[in-house]
Each structure stands twice: as structure tokens, then as C-alpha cells.
Amino acid sequence: MEETPAPPAFADMVEAHERIRPHIHRTPILTSAYLNRLTGAEIFFKCENFQKGGAFKARGACNAVFGLSDAAAANGVITHSSGNHAGALAYAAERRGVPATVVMPRNAPEPKKAAVRDYGARIVECEPNATTREAVCAEVQRETGAEFVHPYNDARVIAGQATCARELIEQAEGLEIVTAPIGGGGLVSGTCLTLSALAPEVEIIAAEPKNADDAARSLRAGQIIADDAPRTIADGLKTPLKPLTWGFVKAHVSDILTATEDEIVAAMRLIWMRMKILIEPSSAVPLAAIIANPDRFSGKRVGVILTGGNVDLDRLPWLTTGVDA
Amino acid sequence: MEETPAPPAFADMVEAHERIRPHIHRTPILTSAYLNRLTGAEIFFKCENFQKGGAFKARGACNAVFGLSDAAAANGVITHSSGNHAGALAYAAERRGVPATVVMPRNAPEPKKAAVRDYGARIVECEPNATTREAVCAEVQRETGAEFVHPYNDARVIAGQATCARELIEQAEGLEIVTAPIGGGGLVSGTCLTLSALAPEVEIIAAEPKNADDAARSLRAGQIIADDAPRTIADGLKTPLKPLTWGFVKAHVSDILTATEDEIVAAMRLIWMRMKILIEPSSAVPLAAIIANPDRFSGKRVGVILTGGNVDLDRLPWLTTGVDA
């Protein structure tokens, strides 16, 4: 039985922002006249693909790592992740000069492993299933006393991700909707935390792959629904909601829109082509949802969080066939 | 015998900047901690890949088109180009609401033709050689009275490109070197025009593919050397210097460094990977030259103009073999 940690408060976001400021970028907002014409909306893209480590995850990881006491930090940090949180935690630990361990499935993509190793973290491989992963993680914790930092079901992590929405509303005034992709819900929860306090008039709409629509179904059902190993190209969005993130989502998210795999790839390519920036598939889901639901966004000022830019340049989705699951 | 037009003066750049301001982006500067560590230099990337039409060429084309009298503009404009100048002139003409004709070799890549058509310009196809191209161009000029706007051997175009270096030195203080790719030399000439007046202490170093090193050989020989159809992936840099650009280059460029095809592709991929932005091969040549010549740049504050981001996403150079000539 997992314990439900206490949710972060607004003051935790403010404190997080001060704490992580030396270690993260205040990423820019970009706009595209073409995409505005296409969607009828005025879209402000918050470019977390330019963030340290190539994804917003540096915010939460830095807040968790730099919030530790010196004594606790000395034992290092540990997480399980095959995605951007792994690299982000490795980055944060390297900045603080403490050891980091990442438990990764042995079939994780080599570029993801390389990113973790580049920041000097130790990788412990495990079988690609949740039971083994958690057992291995617990074992390393017992051995080292390392602090476990969950990718999203962690108040420190959510408070860190919440700083992104704060910058967004400072940089783009008068937003009517903010939309972000939802996987485990850490970024969306942080967005809820910030906007419910600073800009409660802004509607929060999450976006999700139709092939991994567990959050949308959870919102309709009024309880967490978790899928087993969904298949989608948006590999950052396969994780289920957890109690902490579910609390924010059910309280503040007005809708969760979905997009097909083809719509996600098309939106990704459109952003590459028209904005000349690299985003990963997960980051394209909000634009895909906007294009698929013009009536919801037309005429509105919309903030879109581009969550990351870590792609395998040897395997672009429009050059491969089928879904990369 | 080609006539040598009068070179633009500094005041022409100032006037150009006022004229084109409503039609272009003041593009941002990006930096990369990783690339600074790699090169030992402090590099400020001027992101003209984010410019209207995806390349700096919008500056020169807009200056030429918006500088015409209403009577002259009414007859339209014409150029020959299979690259970014074609799209830029089409963009400028559409903004002014006058017709544009672009003479393109019939084997020009379809994405380049599409960009021109998207801006409402007319494409006249010709055989892929200089003689036919000029004959077709002259014929259309006779028929329509359209104003010919050369891609770079044109004082209005050079004055427009010169506005890029002005923004660069306003946005990044204390530069010691500015480096840009050189093909026909329009951008480099504009850079010379601006910096020789506003920041004469800044060294101007051009960069060129080794496979199309006609400008480097021209500088050594003290006269224009033109190659016939050089083969390089940096397709924007195949054109030879012309009298107007040669005048600026010989007076103000201290050196022209070269990079191999492999070095260009590696630098391009590095910028994509680390900066999460799309640049075209030509734009990668300066970074390739910096990496190949660390002693020239280490410890220096260096401005690099990223000239454009128009790439064929279905044909990335690291996924194909050999040189795309």
C-alpha cells in the first residue's frame, strides 16, 4: 500500500523557485504566426525543451535535491525512471556534488542511459517491470541510505514543476487557457498549484495520447484508472496518475483532451517545420489536441508548455513506421 | 559583362532597419553551456533560423521590395534562386501586395518550390544552368517590367542583411569575433558594412565548406575565383562572390576558415542535439570551423550567425550517405 504524501502548498512553489533559480533556465516564450492562423488561437509556447537537460523535469529534481539537508544529501539520491526525470535527477545531483543512482529497465534506449551517465550518475539495471524495479530501488536505498525522489508523486517535485506555470503567466499576459501534456501528472499538478493561486481565471486543459488516455478516463470516472503498458509514441506520457497528482487534477483540471498517434506526429512535425525547434513527441500532444478541437481554443490566448526536446535523431517518427512502444 | 553596382553606405543599413522592422523578427540570441565548454569560447548564436521564412534572407528581400516606389513595385519583382532568397522575395512581395516571379531550375527540391508558392509567387522553371536562367529572367523582366533583385550582388540586399549584425552587437555586448557562413557573400558583406562602422574592433571571420572554398581561395589570391557547381551539403554556400560582395570581403574579412562535409554534419547535429533548434547545413559551418580551430576562438566572445533553418525533414544528412550535391 502506497502512502499518500501531503500535497505541496503555494508557498512551497515560491520557495522552490528561489531555490532552483541558479540551476535552471527561465526558458523563453516563442510564438508562430503560422500556427496562430492555423488554429485561430493566439498561442504562447513555453519552451522547456530549452531547459537544462532538455526538459522541465530539471525544475522538480533540483528542488528535491537542493532542498535536502547536507546530511541527507550526502547519502545521495535515487529514482527509477527511463525518461527525462532520470537525467534531471542526475543533473541536480551533479550540481550539488552528491551521488545519484537511477534504476532503469535494461532495455531502456541507449541515448537515455548516456544522458544519465554524462551527468556522472550510476545506473542500476533491472528487468522491465514495476515489481523488480521497486525491489531493486528499495535494495539500493537500504544499502546507501539514498533519498528516493519519485518522478512525480512527490510534493517537492510538484512544487518544482509548478515554477514553470509561474514564469509562463509572467511572460505571457492575459492567458485564458493553459494546456500541458499529462502522464503521471507532475507538471499538470504544479500548473494547478500555481494557477489556482495566482490566476484562478485561467482554464487548465490537459492533453493526452488516445492510446494512453488513462487520465481522461480517470477524470470521467472520478477515480484513478491505471493502464498496463500503454503503447504510444509519446513515451513520457505512459505513466499513471498517483494519489498526489490525482488530487490536483480532479480539483483543477477542467478537461483532458486526447490525440491520436498520427495527430501527435503531425503536430510534432509542424512545430519542427514552422518553429524550427526540436520537441519530443510528448510535447506535441497539446498542439495536436488544439488542432483537433478548434472550437475550444479559437479566439483564445493559450499557453502551451513544450515539455521537452529529447529525441533520438536517428529515429524520427515520420521516418519510421508504426508506433514506437 | 556584368555592371558593378555602387556599394551600400552605413546610412543605407540604418534606413533599411527602419524600413523592414515591421516585416521581420528581431531574432533572439541563444547560448549553450555545453558548446561553450566544448570550444572554450563564449558563443552567442544569433538565431536567424527563427526569422520570417526561416532565414536571414527576409531582411535583404524586404529592404529591396519596400524601398521601391509604388510605380516600380506595381510591376512586381523577379529573381533567380533555388534557395532561401526565393522564399524571402516571395514573402516580401506578398507583404507589399505586389507580384513576384522566381526563376528556378526545374530540378529544384519540391519543398523549396512549395515555400515560394505558399507566398503566392509565380515560379518559372528553367534548365539548371546559368545561361538559361539569365535568359529566362531577362525575358520575364522585358515582359513585365519587374524589378530584378539579385540574391546578394545588390546594394539594397546587402544593406538589409547588414541589419542582422547590428542587432547581434546590440544583443551581445563585448564581442571580439563575429563569424558567419560565406557563399555569395551578401550576409558577410552586410556584417562588414555594419561592424566596420559600429564596432571596428570586432574581427570578422567567415566560414565555408572545404568543398566550396572559392571565397577562401579568392581572399588568398586577391581576386574573385569562381567554382563551377561545387558539391557540398551546405547548399546555400555554393554561389561565387560577385564584385559588390568581393569589395567588402577583401576590405574587412580577416580570414575564411573551411570545414569538411563530415565536420559540417557533426556540427549541425550537435546544435540540434544540444540547443534543440533546427538549423540547415550551411548554418553549421561556422561552428564546425570553430571546433576545428580551437586556438583561434578559445577564450573569446564570439558571435555566430545561424543563417537559416530550412531543412527537408525527410532527408536528414546523418541519415543519408554521401554528399547531397
In chain A, domain spans: 10-55+154-319, 58-148
d(CA A70, CA A88): 20
Please spell the DSSP secondary structure of A120-169, one letter per residue.
Answer: T-EEEEE-SSHHHHHHHHHHHHHHH-PEE--SSSSHHHHHHHHHHHHHHH
Q: Answer yes or no: are the C-beta atoms of A324 and A317 closer than 8 Å.
A: yes
Check if A301 contacts B (Cβ < 8 Å).
no
Query: To the nearest whole number, what is the mean pLDDT of chain B?
Result: 94
Out of 2.40.110.10, 3.30.465.10, 3.40.50.150, 3.40.50.1100, which CATH number does the structure's domain B58-148 have?
A: 3.40.50.1100
Sign (positive or negative) of CA dihedral A159, A215, A203, A41: positive
pLDDT digits (tens, 9 = 90+) for A144-160: 999 999 999 999 999 99
pLDDT digits (tens, 9 = 90+) for B55-69: 999 999 999 999 999
Check if A161 contacts B (Cβ < 8 Å).
no
pLDDT digits (tens, 9 = 90+) for B115-174: 899 999 999 999 888 788 889 999 999 999 999 999 999 999 999 999 999 999 999 999
Question: In the CATH hierarchy, which top-level class contains the domain B10-55+154-319?
Answer: alpha beta
Task: Provide the ipTM.
Answer: 0.94
- Where does residue B226 fall: left (phi above 0), alpha (psi -120 to 50 degrees), or beta otherwise? beta
Tell me the residue length of chain A.
325
Looking at chain A, which residue has its C-alpha nearest residue B118? A34
- Report the residue of B46, B269, B276 to disrupt the A interface, i.e. the one with the largest count of A CBs within 10 Å: B276
Chain A residue numbers touching B277 (CB-CB < 8 A): 276-278
Provide the shortest C-alpha distance from residue B17 to chain A (in Å).
Answer: 21
- Report the residue of A276, A306, A314 to disrupt the B interface, i.e. the one with the largest count of B CBs within 10 Å: A276
pLDDT band at B2 (very low <50, low <70, confident <90, very high): low
Provide the shortest C-alpha distance from residue A161 to chain B (in Å).
Answer: 20
Q: Given a cut of 60, is residue A322 above it in pLDDT?
A: no
Secondary structure of residue A36 in the 3-state scheme: helix
For residue A57, what is its C-alpha cell?
523535469
Q: What is the mean pLDDT of residues B10-19?
A: 98
Provide the shortest C-alpha distance from residue B63 to chain A (in Å).
Answer: 21
Q: Answer yes or no: are the C-beta atoms of B87 and B53 closer than 8 Å.
A: yes
pLDDT digits (tens, 9 = 90+) for A216-255: 999 999 999 998 788 999 999 999 999 999 999 999 999 9
Query: Which is nearest to B65 in space by CA: B132, B140, B156, B136?
Result: B156
Burial class (CB in 10 A: 0-12, 13-18, 19+), B15: middle
Check if A278 contacts B (Cβ < 8 Å).
yes
Compare CB distances from B313 to A30, A272, A277 and report the shortest one's residue.
Answer: A272
pLDDT at A2: 55
Tell me the residue length of chain B.
325
Check if A49 contacts B (Cβ < 8 Å).
yes
For residue B325, what is its C-alpha cell?
550535391
A10-55+154-319 and A58-148, same CATH topology: yes
Check if B29 contacts A (Cβ < 8 Å).
no
Q: What is the mean pLDDT of residues B230-241?
A: 93
Check if A276 contacts B (Cβ < 8 Å).
yes
Chain B residue numbers touching A94 (CB-CB < 8 A): none
d(CA B246, CA B257): 16
- Where does residue A302 fall: left (phi above 0), alpha (psi -120 to 50 degrees), or beta otherwise? beta
